[in-house]
A and B are shown apart, each in its own frame.
Chain A
Amino acid sequence: MPLLETQGVTVRFGGNTAVDDVSLSIEPGSVTGLIGPNGAGKTTLFNTVTGMQRPTSGRVFLDGRDITRKAPAKRAHLGVARTFQRLELFLSLSVRDNVRVAGDIVKASRRGAYDVNGETDRLLELTGLASIADLEVSSIPTGRARVVEVARALMTHPRLLLLDEPASGQTEHETEEFAVMLRGLADTGLGICLVEHDLPLVMQLCATIHVLDQGRLIASGTPAEVQASPEVIAAYIGNEEVTA
């Protein structure tokens, strides 16, 4: 059974269809890529999965369970976590507290023991943020801030992690380390979905890639299959060549 499945998800804003009848799935223990030109509906699709946006029609399943009408917080309890394309950090807190507060939330809303401080230290170490943990989060560069969001999301022990352009703002070296970390996370059984414009990173990391264009799913498959797809080339380079 796939970890996440969307069935015919459609989102309309007035007359504008942002996501058009998209059905796709994400497997646990792998990195799935979601690519497409700007305005293709990638972030909107993320929003429907996390509950920030109700789909106009279609359904979303997590582990075969229908979560289409569940509140965002409920979905987080079920194991969905995300990062944001436009950063959503807790700007008045330090890097450490940004990560720690996620643990505070877990501890307050679920039963069972949860070692907030221990987990915080472990994840700061894992994501390489330990050296800047005591800085104000508003003072660190964007690339690092994206990693803070990842660490924060990992605090909830998710099963599905949605990353919205996590590499933008990172240096080449940081991106390499980031890729290694993501693969390591996937190996632990986490399902990762990656929206990213850094195509070399996507091709290198992802087992499966879904391509969106103008809200429609135009291709799905391995990196090689997707790269060979004429629709994908048309979407990325422009339509003229295809029609000509």
Chain B
Amino acid sequence: MDLFLTYTILGLVLGSVYAIAASGLVLTYTTSGIFNFAHGAQAMLAAFLYWQFKVAWGMPTLVAFVLVVCVIGPLLGIVLYNVLMKGLRDVEEVTKVVVTVAVLLGMVALSQWIWDPTQARKMDMLFGSSTSIDVFGVVVRYHELLCVVSAIALAVALRLVFTRTRLGVTMRAVVDDPDLLRLNGYNPERIAMSSWALGSGLAAFAGVLVTPVAGGSLEANTLTLLVIDTFAAAMFGRLRSIPRTFACAIALGLVVTYAGGYAPTQWDWVSNFKAALPMVVLFLVLLVLPQDRLRGTSQTRTRERARVPSVRQAAVWGLAFVAIMYLILQVASPIMVGPLIAALVFAVIALSLVPLTGYAGEINLAPLSFGAIGVIVAFHTGIVGTGLAARLNWVGIVAGTIVTALVGGLVALPALRLRGLYLALGTMAFGGIVSTLVIKEIQPRHWFGLDIALFPAGILVVPPPKIGPLDMAKESTFLMTLAVLFAVLGIGIVALRNTGYGRRLAAMKDSPAATAMLGQSLVKLKLSVFMLSAGIAGLGGILMASTAGSVSAENFLIVVSLSLVMLTVVGGVSHVSGALFGGVMVGLVFTLISGTFSGLAIEHPEFESLFGSFAHLFAIAVALMGIGVNQNPTGVVHQICESYRPLRNARPVLYAGGAVAAGVYVLNYVGVYGDWWLAILMFCGVLLLPIVGRIWMPERMMTPAELAEHEARRTPPPELMGLDQPLSDTERFELDLLLGLPPRPLPLQEFAEELEQLTGKDEVHAPA
């Protein structure tokens, strides 16, 4: 009985913390329509700040607590709302998701810069762990009491605010119809801002409370992802109802604690399962939630503008891509081939997002976790030979791809009846399950009559693929095979968009209601595209493992998935080129930059901290790119392509650009300079060419309106005439005319010219 009471109280405490965090999520979502994926990161930052104030600087508990929870937390919410979220009204769901994901990644990078993650930090309970009271013989610490009491107080307070106060009623109104609210003299943005302040304050509160409850050690990634645990509660409340959210949060806390407490000790998987339980519950919640009612959207065109290339154009680009990869391979130093392969492998994984997110508007936040499924299947089915002669055969690759597609369908099915955001949350939870449960299956277990371990010893050794005569043990062969594969997949995906199926996806993205009303089953269509996408991710995952030689849990971290999704959206998720951008950034640029900085730090130990800071700054800069997606939601690659469009009229510029590129390449080929210079020069050249074109051939590059403005800027306006040099006779004459003064006589010849000009123009009337 005592044991039961202890577990119950512990469960209530955990549930209370979940409730506080989840209600913050629901609050910000209902009033601003933005689901804050950075909620957990805010909690994490708050916990670290509290540690800094309390432990490192020795402030009193109360001061540190008030500073973090009541001042910095809400302030951060206000800043986030005003700087970022306010501008996210007329964009697609994926853009909103990516901006908050970028905030999450930025906050994690920032915290790892300030608080060195290799150093262990412990956080004690508020009021210490010795202060306690006795409840029916169970010791309850003040901290635990605070969790429960504040959760109850919060529940009551929110209930009162929403039903009894003007602010609460207007908050609910913001969700229903912000325009109507504005007509009634309220400012929906101020209301949304106050909800962000409140929500962020609650995140900070949850962060400070949860750390000691969860063991006390501060670890940025764990704390950030703790928010996934609360998704189930928020979803059970349909992202709207605070009471339902509270109920589910408390139940979740109890279930997790009982499961950990009562499960027989010989079940070795219980501790993993306990960690995964909130995410399992999330899928159960998805199953019981009733189907979303189909509603018309108030259609305002979002700012994303995707251009659909024809299959022919895609084929030309595909060929050009393979050719460029071949040229790069000829000059790249051998150590660069590995990162290039990694770039293409990640590009294949990112390609899975193009049909799913770019065409159909659905979101998968954990593509790498689907890749992990592919790897596991391929590992168990497709390896032939041993030692250095071991190869991955086509059976493994095909089986891995197909099984991943099936698993994808199974995972997505419960979420597909609901709005897109639920699928995004579901995939993130799936990512959590994969990393807490599947990848932790390192011991052999009896599965369906076979004794196998899913992820033996926590590391999977995957040899290079060999398909028929094509042996990819040689890196250059692997690279070119991947280049061809990416090109073929890319062309295939573009071709898909140009079929009836692709049009149906686009229609569903634009108006689900109209699509359903024409007879399309939305669930079937979403399911098919999700399975296609998962299959591609699985294939990419297998190739990733195979290039890396071996993979462990680190390769499938959710944070890496999130970075890949974010950078693909930055590049442009509706375009195959956006996937390439995402892949190159994650696979090549990340490793290269961090490798270069750590190399420099070793070479110059005296600047070690400086180079370390550069590496951190780079991580934050990447997050800022994600945040900047709001400025350019269609993607970077699209923007560059648009800047090249006018160059079609200015062929000479293009030819000159091509010649310069060839020259730069040849100079590298003969060894005048190295790879870095080649990369930098090419990069600058590509970005600068349109600008060069505008300067060189303005009349061909600009629209008439731009040209007129350009001309106007070149001739000084009349009020500036005579400032840098004395007025000429003609100018004086013109100025007199403009000002309506009697003009001083001009010398005869100039007068004749001027007269000719005036009569020709017929605009200025000379005074009589």
On whether the beta carbons of B503 and A97 are closer than 8 Å, the reply is yes
Asked if A239 is at the interface of the complex by the 8 Å CB criterion, the answer is no
Contact with A along B478-512 (1 / 0, CB 8 A): 00000000000000000000001101101101110
Q: How far is the CA of A93 from the CA of B511 in the complex (A)?
A: 11
Residues 70 to 124 of chain A near chain B (Cβ within 8 Å): 71-73, 76-77, 81-82, 84, 86-93, 97-98, 100-110, 116
- B510 surroundings in chain A (CB, below 8 A): 89-93
Contact with A along B286-305 (1 / 0, CB 8 A): 00000001111111010000
Asked if A153 is at the interface of the complex by the 8 Å CB criterion, the answer is yes
On whether the beta carbons of B511 and A90 are closer than 8 Å, the reply is yes
Give the residue name and chain of the A residue nearest to B359 (CB): A92
On whether the beta carbons of A88 and B514 are closer than 8 Å, the reply is yes
Asked if B387 is at the interface of the complex by the 8 Å CB criterion, the answer is no
Asked if A52 is at the interface of the complex by the 8 Å CB criterion, the answer is yes
- A84 surroundings in chain B (CB, below 8 A): 296, 513-514
On whether the beta carbons of B509 and A156 are closer than 8 Å, the reply is no
- B504 surroundings in chain A (CB, below 8 A): 101, 104-105, 108
Binds A, one of B347-355, B516-524, B718-726: B516-524
Contact with A along B516-541 (1 / 0, CB 8 A): 11111110000000000000000000
- B473 surroundings in chain A (CB, below 8 A): none
With A72-B294, A92-B306, A105-B519 as contacts: A52 and B513 at CB distance below 8 Å: yes
On whether the beta carbons of B519 and A73 are closer than 8 Å, the reply is yes
Q: How far is the CA of A104 from the CA of B301 in the complex (A)?
A: 23
Q: How far is the CA of A155 from the CA of B306 in the complex (A)?
A: 26
On whether the beta carbons of A92 and B506 are closer than 8 Å, the reply is yes
Asked if B515 is at the interface of the complex by the 8 Å CB criterion, the answer is yes
On whether the beta carbons of A88 and B518 are closer than 8 Å, the reply is no
On whether the beta carbons of A89 and B511 are closer than 8 Å, the reply is yes
On whether the beta carbons of A76 and B298 are closer than 8 Å, the reply is no
- B299 surroundings in chain A (CB, below 8 A): 86-89, 91
On whether the beta carbons of A77 and B506 are closer than 8 Å, the reply is no
On whether the beta carbons of B506 and A93 are closer than 8 Å, the reply is yes
- B501 surroundings in chain A (CB, below 8 A): 104, 108
- A138 surroundings in chain B (CB, below 8 A): 301
Closest chain-B Cβ to A73's Cβ sits at a distance in Å of: 5
- B519 surroundings in chain A (CB, below 8 A): 73, 76-77, 105-106, 109-110, 156
Most chain A CB within a 10 A radius of its CB, from B295, B306, B503, B515 = B503
Give the residue name and chain of the A residue nearest to B291 (CB): A71
Contact with A along B109-140 (1 / 0, CB 8 A): 00000000000000000000000000000000
Contact with B along A204-236 (1 / 0, CB 8 A): 000000000000000000000000000000000
Give the residue name and chain of the B residue nearest to A53 (CB): B293
Q: How far is the CA of A92 from the CA of B502 in the complex (A)?
A: 12
On whether the beta carbons of A72 and B503 are closer than 8 Å, the reply is no
Closest chain-B Cβ to A161's Cβ sits at a distance in Å of: 12
Q: How far is the CA of A90 from the CA of B514 in the complex (A)?
A: 8
On whether the beta carbons of A90 and B296 are closer than 8 Å, the reply is no
Closest chain-A Cβ to B325's Cβ sits at a distance in Å of: 31
Contact of B515 among A86, A105, A106, A153 (CB under 8 A): A105
Q: How far is the CA of A90 from the CA of B500 in the complex (A)?
A: 14
Closest chain-A Cβ to B360's Cβ sits at a distance in Å of: 12
Q: How far is the CA of A82 from the CA of B301 in the complex (A)?
A: 22
Contact with B along A149-169 (1 / 0, CB 8 A): 100110110000000000000
On whether the beta carbons of B517 and A107 are closer than 8 Å, the reply is no
- B295 surroundings in chain A (CB, below 8 A): 52
Asked if A32 is at the interface of the complex by the 8 Å CB criterion, the answer is no
Contact of B503 among A71, A76, A93, A149 (CB under 8 A): A93
Residues 172 to 225 of chain A near chain B (Cβ within 8 Å): none
Contact of B500 among A98, A108, A152, A156 (CB under 8 A): A108
Q: How far is the CA of A240 from the CA of B503 in the complex (A)?
A: 54
Contact of A71 among B306, B500, B506, B521 (CB under 8 A): B521
Give the residue name and chain of the B residue nearest to A103 (CB): B500
- A53 surroundings in chain B (CB, below 8 A): 293
- A100 surroundings in chain B (CB, below 8 A): 500, 503
Q: How far is the CA of A103 from the CA of B503 in the complex (A)?
A: 10
Asked if A50 is at the interface of the complex by the 8 Å CB criterion, the answer is yes
Q: How far is the CA of A97 from the CA of B499 in the complex (A)?
A: 11
- B503 surroundings in chain A (CB, below 8 A): 93, 97, 100-101, 104
Contact of B506 among A88, A90, A103, A152 (CB under 8 A): A90
- A52 surroundings in chain B (CB, below 8 A): 293-296, 513, 517
Closest chain-A Cβ to B264's Cβ sits at a distance in Å of: 45
Closest chain-A Cβ to B518's Cβ sits at a distance in Å of: 5
On whether the beta carbons of A86 and B296 are closer than 8 Å, the reply is yes
Q: How far is the CA of A71 from the CA of B519 in the complex (A)?
A: 9
Closest chain-B Cβ to A150's Cβ sits at a distance in Å of: 12
On whether the beta carbons of B518 and A92 are closer than 8 Å, the reply is no
Closest chain-A Cβ to B348's Cβ sits at a distance in Å of: 26
On whether the beta carbons of A81 and B518 are closer than 8 Å, the reply is yes
On whether the beta carbons of B511 and A88 are closer than 8 Å, the reply is yes
On whether the beta carbons of A109 and B297 are closer than 8 Å, the reply is no
- A81 surroundings in chain B (CB, below 8 A): 517-518
- B296 surroundings in chain A (CB, below 8 A): 52, 84, 86, 88
Most chain A CB within a 10 A radius of its CB, from B504, B519, B522 = B519
Closest chain-A Cβ to B505's Cβ sits at a distance in Å of: 10
11 extra interface residue pairs, beta carbon distance < 8 Å, beyond A76-B520, A110-B519: A52-B295, A52-B517, A82-B517, A84-B296, A90-B510, A92-B506, A93-B506, A101-B500, A102-B518, A108-B504, A152-B518
Sample of 9 A–B contacts (CB below 8 Å) = A73-B517, A73-B520, A88-B511, A90-B510, A104-B501, A108-B500, A108-B501, A109-B520, A109-B521
Q: Which residues of B contact A (CB under 8 A)?
A: 293-299, 301, 306, 500-501, 503-504, 506-507, 509-511, 513-522
7 smallest A-B Cβ distances: which pairs? Answer: A104-B500, A76-B519, A88-B514, A90-B510, A88-B511, A101-B503, A105-B520
